[in-house]
Amino acid sequence: MLHKILIIDDEDDIREVAALSLETVAGWDVITANSGAQGLVRAAEQQPDAILLDVMMPGMDGPTTFRELRKNPATAKIPVLLLTAKVQSSDQRRFADLGVAAVLFKPFDPLSLSNQIATVLGWS
């Protein structure tokens, strides 16, 4: 099945590597956004099957973006996976308490990223 994924990350190289990985390895349709604000608009317009959301971004960070996604009925049910370089257990608990589908860690393996997402979301 062709899945549509929205990647929200302020780092161009992370967005590009993740997008290329998901398109090439899994054959998914990928949409990108370079900020939380842009991500909110793209999520509402494009209705992706899932969102890969960076935690640390200038302006609107990942947790704030996630809360805004949940406030909008058009995006409230879209599963969100956080992407973070923060690996401390206190950060992991705080992110998990938000209600995200999963927390994935940077640096990620481009060859296994789609499998990680598919496993978490029950797509495999």
pTM: 0.94
Q: Which of 13, 2, 22, 15 is nearest to 42 (CA)?
A: 15
Q: Note whether 57 and 31 are within 8 A (CB).
A: no
User: Residue 49: what pLDDT?
Assistant: 98
Residue 24 has pLDDT above 90, yes or no: yes
Inform me whether the pLDDT recorded for 13 exceeds 80.
yes
Place of tokens 């200038």: 58
List the domains of the chain with CATH numbers: 4-118 (3.40.50.2300)
